[in-house]
C-alpha cells in the first residue's frame, strides 16, 4: 500500500515539474504546521498526530521556491521515539487560479532519532523527502494561506524509519508586499509622443513636430506638413505642389499668382513678373529730381523689381544706360545722364546685385527714341534702360 502511495507521489511530482508557473510574491515567508504520521510497519509506533513542521522560504525564480524546514515529532507505541529533522527543500508551484496553488516538493537533510527500546537508542542519518501539497487563499484581502501537504520521508541510514507525513498549517509572508509596478507607458510606435490608440497619423518620421492627434504640423495650412514644406508661409487658399510651393504652370520660376505673362516658353529668361527679358529692359516710372541724379520715391518699387530679376538670373551682365532729351547744353546732358546711370547702379548694388555684373554709361541726348520737338517725345527720351550684355 505504502509503495503505491510513494509511486503516486513520484508521478505527481513529474507532472508538476512540467506545468509550473512563476511565483507572484518574492517575500520571505514562514509556514508553521502540525504533523501527523503514517509510520513504517516495522517501527511499532502508533499512527496519528505526532508533532510539527516549520518552514522558512522564498521564491527564487520561475515557480521555484527554496525552503529551510525544521521538524520535531514524538511517536507513541510499542517502540516510542522522538525525532528532530532539518532539511532544505525545493518547491515547484503551479498557479491554477487566484485561490489554489498546488506544488510538488523534494529535499534532503539530517534526521535525529532517539528510541526508548532496541539496540540503536540514538541515531542520526541523512534523509530525503518528496511530496505534494496545495496552498489555499483564505480571503482576497489576506496574504495568509492555508497549507496542506503530504510527504514521504526516508532515513538513508535506517530503512525502518521511513514514514508518510501529513502536514497542515498556514503560510504567511514576512513584511509588507512590494508596491505594484507602475503601469506600462502607452505604446507609441512612431515615437512622436502621441499614444498609438490616439494617433491619427501613425508612422510619422522620427523628429517630426506633430499635433495632439499625432499628425505632422502644417503651419500655413497648405496641406503639406512643415517637415516637407519648402515654401512655408504661403497665403491661405493658395494652391501648392507636393513641396508646399505655389503652382508654377509654365515652369518659369514665377508662381501663377504673380505671373503676369503665363505660358512662357520653356527655358526663356523671365523677370520677376514672369515676362520674357528682352535685350533692353525699359524702366518706366524711374524718375529723378530736376537737374539731379537723386531718385524720386516713385522709382524705388520699379528698381526693386529690376534688382530681384537680376538676382534671379545671376549669369547675365548688364549695362545701366542713362539718356536725356535735347534740351540744354549737350555736354551737360552727357554728364547728367552718366550720373543718373551711376545712381541707378548704386541702388541695384544696395539691393544685392553683384557690382561686377553692372556697368553704368551715360549717352546724353545721342540716342533719342521719340521726337524731341514735342513734350511727350522729350519725356520718353529722358530714361534709364538696362541693356543685356551677356
Average pLDDT for consecutive 10-residue bins of the chain (390 residues)?
46 42 72 86 66 94 92 77 92 81 96 72 87 92 93 86 91 87 79 77 78 75 78 81 80 79 77 73 80 85 88 86 90 92 92 91 89 88 83
CA 257 → CA 234, 284, 377, distances in Å? Answer: 11, 23, 35
Residue 318 and residue 389 in contact, taking contact as beta carbons nearer than 8 Å: yes
DSSP state of 233: T
**Domains identified in the chain and CATH numbers:** 2-173 (2.40.160.20), 278-388 (3.30.1330.60)
The sign of the CA dihedral 248, 250, 254, 255 is negative
What's the pLDDT at 45? 65
Q: At what angle do helices 330-350 and 299-312 cross, to 10 degrees?
A: 60
Cα Rg of the chain, angstroms: 52
Strands 64-75 and 48-61: antiparallel
What's the pLDDT at 18? 39
What's the pLDDT at 78? 61
Residue 32 and residue 52 in contact, taking contact as beta carbons nearer than 8 Å: yes
Cα 44 to Cα 1: distance, rounded to the nearest angstrom: 17
**How many alpha carbons lie under 13 Å from residue 124 in its C-beta half-sphere?**
6
- Both ends of the chain: CA-CA distance in Å? 117
Residue 150 and residue 165 in contact, taking contact as beta carbons nearer than 8 Å: yes
Spatial neighbors of 381 by CB under 8 A, at least 6 apart, are 323, 324, 325, 326, 365, 368, 369, 370, 372
Residue 13 and residue 135 in contact, taking contact as beta carbons nearer than 8 Å: no
The sign of the CA dihedral 331, 332, 335, 340 is negative
Residue 236 and residue 247 in contact, taking contact as beta carbons nearer than 8 Å: no
What's the pLDDT at 6? 45
Could you count the other beta carbons within 10 Å of the beta carbon of residue 198? 11
The H or E element spanning position 127 is strand 122-137
Burial (Cβ within 10 Å: 0-12, 13-18, ≥19) of residue 123 = middle
DSSP string, 156-186: TT-GGG-EEEEEEEEEEESSPPPPPPPPPPP
Cα 327 to Cα 101: distance, rounded to the nearest angstrom: 117
DSSP string, 269-281: -B-TTSPBP-SEE
Amino acid at each position: 500500500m505504502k509503495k503505491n502511495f510513494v509511486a503516486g507521489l513520484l508521478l505527481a511530482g513529474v507532472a508538476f515539474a512540467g506545468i509550473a508557473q512563476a511565483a507572484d510574491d518574492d517575500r520571505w515567508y514562514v509556514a508553521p504546521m502540525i504533523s501527523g504520521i503514517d509510520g513504517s510497519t516495522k517501527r511499532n509506533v502508533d499512527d496519528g498526530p505526532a508533532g510539527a513542521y516549520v518552514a522558512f522560504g522564498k521564491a527564487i525564480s520561475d515557480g521555484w521556491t527554496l525552503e529551510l524546514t525544521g521538524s520535531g515529532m514524538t511517536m507513541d507505541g510499542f517502540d516510542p521515539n522522538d525525532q528532530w529533522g532539518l532539511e532544505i527543500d525545493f518547491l515547484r508551484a503551479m498557479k491554477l487560479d487566484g485561490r489554489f496553488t498546488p506544488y510538488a516538493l523534494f529535499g534532503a537533510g539530517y534526521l535525529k532519532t532517539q528510541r526508548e527500546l532496541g539496540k540503536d537508542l540514538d541515531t542520526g542519518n541523512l534523509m530525503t523527502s518528496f511530496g505534494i501539497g496545495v496552498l489555499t487563499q483564505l480571503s482576497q484581502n489576506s496574504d495568509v494561506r492555508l497549507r496542506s501537504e503530504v510527504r514521504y520521508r526516508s532515513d538513508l541510514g535506517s530503512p525502518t524509519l521511513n514514514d508518510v507525513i501529513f502536514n497542515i498549517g498556514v503560510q504567511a509572508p514576512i513584511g509588507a508586499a512590494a508596491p505594484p509596478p507602475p503601469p506600462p507607458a502607452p505604446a507609441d510606435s512612431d515615437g512622436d509622443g502621441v499614444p498609438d490608440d490616439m494617433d491619427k497619423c501613425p508612422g510619422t518620421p522620427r523628429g517630426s513636430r506633430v499635433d495632439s492627434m499625432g499628425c505632422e504640423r502644417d503651419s500655413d495650412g497648405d496641406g503639406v506638413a512643415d517637415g516637407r514644406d519648402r515654401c512655408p508661409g504661403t497665403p491661405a487658399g493658395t494652391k501648392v505642389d507636393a513641396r508646399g510651393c505655389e503652382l508654377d504652370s509654365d515652369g518659369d520660376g514665377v508662381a501663377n499668382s504673380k505671373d503676369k505673362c503665363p505660358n512662357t516658353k520653356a527655358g526663356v529668361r523671365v523677370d520677376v513678373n514672369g515676362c520674357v527679358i528682352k535685350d533692353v529692359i525699359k524702366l518706366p516710372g524711374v524718375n529723378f529730381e530736376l537737374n539731379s541724379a537723386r531718385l524720386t520715391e516713385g522709382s524705388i518699387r520699379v528698381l526693386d523689381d529690376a534688382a530681384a530679376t537680376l538676382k534671379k538670373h545671376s549669369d547675365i551682365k548688364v549695362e545701366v544706360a542713362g539718356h536725356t532729351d535735347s534740351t540744354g547744353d549737350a555736354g551737360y546732358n552727357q554728364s547728367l545722364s552718366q550720373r543718373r546711370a551711376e545712381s541707378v547702379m548704386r541702388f541695384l548694388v544696395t539691393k544685392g546685385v553683384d557690382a561686377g555684373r553692372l556697368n553704368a554709361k551715360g549717352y546724353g541726348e545721342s540716342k533719342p527714341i521719340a521726337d524731341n520737338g514735342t513734350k511727350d517725345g522729350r519725356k520718353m527720351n529722358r530714361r534709364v534702360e538696362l541693356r543685356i550684355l551677356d
